[in-house]
Amino acid sequence: MNPLGLLWLGVCLGLTSGCPADCDCHRKFSFQIADCAYRDLEAVPSGFLPNVTTLSLSANKLTGLGVAAFVEVPLLQSLWLAYNEISSVEPGALAVLSQVKSIDVSHNRLADFPWGDLHNLTALQLLKMDNNHLVALPQDAFLSLQALRSLQLNHNQFLTIAEGTFDALTSLSHLQINNNPFNCSCRLLWLKAWAEDTHVSIPERNSITCASPPSLQGVPLARLPPQRCTPPTARVSHHPSLDSAEVQEGWALALHCAASGHPQPQLQWRIQTPGGTVELRSPNVQRDGQALAGGPKHPRFLAFGNGSLVVPQFSRLEEGTYTCHAKNELGHAEGSVNVTLATAESPLEDLLVRKFQAKRGGGKGCSTMDNEVVPSGAEDNIVIIYLSGRGPQKGKAGGSLELGLWLPLLCLALLTI
């Protein structure tokens, strides 16, 4: 038989004996090894023995892993895929490898990864994902990896890592997260404290640096200066000094959302009226009350950048619950008041009047009287808006509106006489 015939025979034998033509298969102790590295392979070959424990596909030209890529080798313990051109892994492709202890997908082109597959890989001890283009890491990605000892996420595009991401990794001893473009906002501060505290070895610490914000670019996480980071609080009150410069006629309701927090929270109002719910991002007007470009010319609700909300023409249609929602990267909070228009049908005596403010339609400002009923003759000309607040249980001191108490506030506006 000529050499070519021998080769063909070999190939056929190879196929029938459970080794793809492009691979080298052998047994070593209890391991069944399939070595398909350095073969210019563009797809995962088929024809493996079902008892393969080690599969090397490193340094090929694989571009993706289909969902069925490893169904032939469910007993795999080690999977080497480094130095390919893999940019996609179909969800489910790795989940079948319930015995796998080591996976190396480093030096590929992954921007995305089926993180859910890791939940099935409870035997995993080594996971190398470095030198890819990975951007986002779900907080629960490693939840099932109690056996994981070494994790390499370095040289990727991760902007942040959520607090608690490594908490389930009780066996972890080696972690590489250097050379990612970290956004050193309040949300990442936990990582600095955690890295200082943990027994896990974290090499190349000076290469764990911030890429943003610009003021911190290049600063190693370990040398991050202290930052003010507090979650928001929000409280809605009537704003006593809000004058009626922007209120032409009719009656105006003026509320103020006092919000705190670092970074400065973003405010949003949710106004639930019988006619429907209005959501507006604050601000929707400029400081002078002029509508912002692109918005409605005469907004029904004016939300100012400083937290004040003005309803220039308050009527029955504007009755309802006014909620201010404050949000920053550390959390969110909200405060709200109910606003009702009291007319002749809702008798004044029923109201627990503690405080009221009267405002003339022309806008002369408010006068305040405590614990008194409105002294007015011309009932028909009076529109009463009373507010009841609910907010933090404590904090009784000061303030025009004490939230936590049912505290009515009257705002009277006299019709132009």
Ligand X SMILES: *[C@@H]1O[C@H](CO)[C@@H](O)[C@H](O)[C@H]1NC(C)=O
Residue closest to ligand X when measured from CB atoms: 390
Q: Does 388 bind ligand X (CB under 6 A)?
A: yes
The residue among 155, 153, 138, 220 whose CA lies nearest residue 184 is: 220
Neighbours of 10 (CB within 10 A): 12
Q: How many other C-beta atoms can be found within 10 angstroms of the C-beta atom of residue 3?
A: 7
DSSP 360-394: ETT---EEEEES-----S-GGGEEEEEEEEE--SS
Stretch that binds ligand X, among 62-70, 171-179, 180-188, 311-319 (CB under 6 A): 180-188
How many other C-beta atoms can be found within 10 angstroms of the C-beta atom of residue 152? 20
Least distance (Å) from ligand X to the CB of residue 205?
21
Q: What is the DSSP letter of 415?
A: P
Question: Please, what is the minimum distance in Å from the beta carbon of residue 201 to ligand X?
Answer: 28
For 82: left if phi > 0, alpha if psi spans -120 to 50, otherwise beta; the answer is: beta
Choose which of 235, 256, 327, 359 interacts with ligand X (CB under 6 A).
Answer: 256
Q: Is there binding between residue 336 and ligand X (CB under 6 A)? A: yes
Residue 337's identity, in one-letter code, is V
Among 146, 183, 233, 313, binds ligand X (CB under 6 A): 183
Tell me how many residues contact ligand X (CB under 6 A). Answer: 32
CB 259 within 8 A of CB 392: no
Is 209 one of the binding residues for ligand X (CB under 6 A)? no
Binding region for ligand X (CB under 6 A) out of 23-31, 144-152, 345-353, 360-368: 23-31
Binding piece for ligand X, criterion CB under 6 A, among 36-44, 94-102, 275-283, 363-371: 94-102
The Cβ-side half-sphere exposure at 100, using a 13 Å CA radius, reads: 27
What would the x/- binding string for ligand X be over residues 285 to 314, using CB under 6 A?
A: --x----------------x-x-x------
Nearer to ligand X (CB atom), residue 27 or residue 61? 27
Which of 197, 344, 360, 340 is CA-nearest to residue 274?
A: 340
Best CA proximity match to 308, nearest among 328, 331, 285, 327 = 285
Pick from 157, 233, 260, 338 the residue near ligand X by CB under 6 A: 338
- Interacting span for ligand X (CB under 6 A) from 162-170, 199-207, 215-223, 335-343: 335-343
Distances 172 to 166, 167, 265 between C-alpha atoms, Å: 9, 10, 36
Nearest to 355 by CA among 366, 342, 340: 366
Query: Does residue 373 contact residue 386 with C-beta atoms inside 8 Å?
Result: no
CB of 349 to ligand X, least distance (A): 21
Judged by CB, which is closer to ligand X: 59, or 188?
188
**CB of 242 vs ligand X, minimal distance in Å:** 5
**Interaction with ligand X in 140-179: which residues (CB under 6 A)?**
159
Contacting residues toward ligand X, per CB under 6 A = 27, 30-32, 49, 51, 92, 95-96, 98, 120, 159, 183, 185, 187, 212, 239, 241-242, 256, 287, 304, 306, 308, 321, 329, 336-338, 388-390
